[in-house]
Homo-oligomer: A and B are copies of this chain.
Amino acid sequence: MADEFETIAKLFAPLATHPGARNLADDAAVLGNLVLTTDAIVEGVHFLPDDPIETVARKALRVNLSDIAAKGAKPVGVLVTLMWPQGRDAAEIAAFARGLDEDLHTFGAPLLGGDTTATPGPLAVSVTVIGEALGRVPARADARVGEDVWVTGTVGDGMLGLQHLGGSIAYELSQKDAAYLIGRYRTPAPRLSFASAIAAHASASMDLSDGLAQDVGKIAAASGLAIDLDLAAIPLSAPGRAWVAEGGAIEALMSGGDDYELLFTAAPEARATIEAAGRTAGLAVSRIGRTQAGAGVTADGAPIRAAGYRHALGR
């Protein structure tokens, strides 16, 4: 939908009369102590037609679990709607169920229900996850001036995985790096192990789906402040650093989608606690910037081009 998103959000926002809907401006809704999120993935938009069917199941689940983690919640149950192409071998549904099953066990979320329907179109999977809040449920709009900006894991890997699958990385990747990057694109890791730290320490929080620069911009805009990023602090994986060494722009990695890392702000007083929580969760957490009065996003004090990233075909 590219730039029509804002328009669409404006159309639906008046329908969201429940305060827990957060005017549809957040990544999840809050209903009592429950956190609800729904996201669909469509073949040719959010995954590639030849992605293995098991990873399609996993990705559909994981992008939703990522929202749950970003809201400081743990998953309680999952609803899955599978729209299966009329021409596609239904025997593959067993592999879909197997991939889903393994991930449901890994992430401790039982399947509560769902729907299966034929479609004359591409494969699509719509998932709703019901989570339970582990504490406060941070919104995008909750950042305050003078806070640290943090991100988990590394950024840009999902985009590099997609580029590699599309044959648009010019140099040769090692088999190991290729597998790593493809894995990051097809099966992003929802950071549920860090959800309790988010609930305890984050002011604003969201997960990265459209690119770090763009998503930092969303927190800045929703919170009514500016964010300055420290380029040297942006966490890159070894294959990500190699890509930059080959001439790739770090800004491109910062505009790549499909990261599904957690982006959050927190008071400076929480630094040591957050770093300790990262160690406990076995997860890198990087302090990448600072909120300040104003508007917009800068890097090292200068404007950055944040073209964003619209998955394979735009969403």
Residue of chain B at shortest CB distance from A1 = B118
A313 proximity list for chain B (CB < 8 A): 86, 118, 120
Kindly state the separation between the CA atoms of A28 and B94 in the bound complex, as whole angstroms: 23
Nearest CB of chain B from residue A190's CB, rounded to whole Å:
16
Residue of chain B at shortest CB distance from A37 = B113
* CB <8 Å contact, A117 and B45: yes
A282 within 8 A of B: no
* CB <8 Å contact, B24 and A113: yes
A79 proximity list for chain B (CB < 8 A): 29, 36, 38, 128
* CB <8 Å contact, A21 and B121: no
Task: Count this chain's copies in the assembly.
Answer: 2
Kindly state the separation between the CA atoms of A101 and B24 in the bound complex, as whole angstroms: 14
Residue of chain B at shortest CB distance from A112 = B29
A163 within 8 A of B: no
Kindly state the separation between the CA atoms of A5 and B1 in the bound complex, as whole angstroms: 33
The stretch that binds B, out of A8-16, A148-156, A168-176, A268-276, is A8-16
Per-residue B-contact encoding for A96-118, CB less than 8 Å = 1, 0 else: 01001100100000111111111
A314 within 8 A of B: yes
Kindly state the separation between the CA atoms of A164 and B133 in the bound complex, as whole angstroms: 50
Kindly state the separation between the CA atoms of A112 and B111 in the bound complex, as whole angstroms: 21
**Residues of A228-265 whose CB lies within 8 A of B:** none
A178 within 8 A of B: no
Partner of A114, one of B1, B24, B83, B124: B24
A44 within 8 A of B: yes
Partner of A42, one of B40, B80, B121: B121
* CB <8 Å contact, A115 and B39: yes
A283 within 8 A of B: no
**Residues of A119-144 whose CB lies within 8 A of B:** 119-122, 124, 126, 128, 130
Nearest CB of chain B from residue A111's CB, rounded to whole Å:
4
A191 within 8 A of B: no
* CB <8 Å contact, A15 and B121: no
* CB <8 Å contact, A113 and B38: yes
8 sampled A-B residue pairs with Cβ under 8 A: A15-B100, A16-B113, A21-B112, A29-B113, A34-B34, A79-B128, A81-B126, A124-B124
